[in-house]
Amino acid sequence: MVETIVLKLEKREGRGTAASRRLRKQGLIPVIVYGHGADPVSAAVSLHDITLELQHHHKLVDVELDGKSEKLLIKDVQYDHLYDKIIHVDMTRVNLNERVTVTVPVVLRGTPAGAAEDGVLDQLLADVELECLVTAIPEEVRVKVSDMQVGDTILAKDIKLPQGSVLVTDPETAVATVRVIAEELEAEAEVAEEGAAEPEVIAREKESEEGEES
């Protein structure tokens, strides 16, 4: 597990697009801290530091604000329209004994047995929602796929969750499947052949109509 860092939050006064643009030029990102009955606090955090935390899928983070250290939960991250750059982060105060609902990445492990039969593994679900203690949020959920044969599908309910975690995602949601590409190529070829035959039929009908008119 990657050790978390302490995020230093600086209070900010200005709001709006212009103020946010100035922050980003300084390598900072706007943050709002709220929750547990306290007044919301507008702050800023280093883009570099928050990016590292998100890359390691950390949800509960150590922060320093107004000279005080506390733990906050990263509740929401907003990106630009290209989903390339972070533009805003919401953090919430938490009780370390409470349970929260979080989104956790799904990571597939292993090579499917069906690969020996030209099977290809498809990941259909990138992440799952879990309910767990705020102090026990997993960085990821690993799913073993080495036993999967061609035609097999793993559902959300089949995932082995960390102790104390409860699945929130629909249990019937497909997570991964093993399929044969050749079958799809054949189906596409058949569709293409049917499409190519249509102009020929139309041409015959047109020739027939012209023959009747003459």
DSSP secondary structure letters along 11-58 = E----SHHHHHHHHHTTEEEEEEEETTEEEEEEEEEHHHHHHHHHTT-
Whether 132 shows a pLDDT value over 70: the answer reads yes
How many angstroms separate the CA atoms of 206 and 210, rounded? Answer: 6
How confident is the model at residue 205, as a pLDDT? 56
For residue range 17-65, list pLDDT tens digits in order. 777 788 888 999 999 999 988 899 999 999 999 999 998 888 999 999 9
For residues 16 and 115, which has the higher predicted lDDT (pLDDT)? 115
How confident is the model at residue 80, as a pLDDT? 86
How confident is the model at residue 112, as a pLDDT? 96
How many angstroms separate the CA atoms of 122 and 57, rounded? Answer: 22
For residue range 98-127, list pLDDT tens digits in order. 999 999 999 999 999 999 999 999 999 999
| CATH architecture, domain defined by 6-94 | Beta Barrel (2.40)
For residue range 146-173, list pLDDT tens digits in order. 999 999 999 999 999 999 999 999 999 9
How many angstroms separate the CA atoms of 177 and 119, rounded? Answer: 9
How confident is the model at residue 184, as a pLDDT? 58
Residues 112, 179 contacting (CB under 8 angstroms): no
Distance in angstroms between the alpha carbons of the first and the last residue of the chain: 84
Q: For 95-214, which CATH class?
A: mainly beta
Whether 1 shows a pLDDT value over 50: the answer reads no
Which CA distances in Å does 53 have to 6, 19, 64, 107? Answer: 10, 24, 15, 18
Which residue ranges make up each domain of the chain?
A: 6-94, 95-214
Instruction: Tell me the two tokens of residue 36.
Output: 């547990």
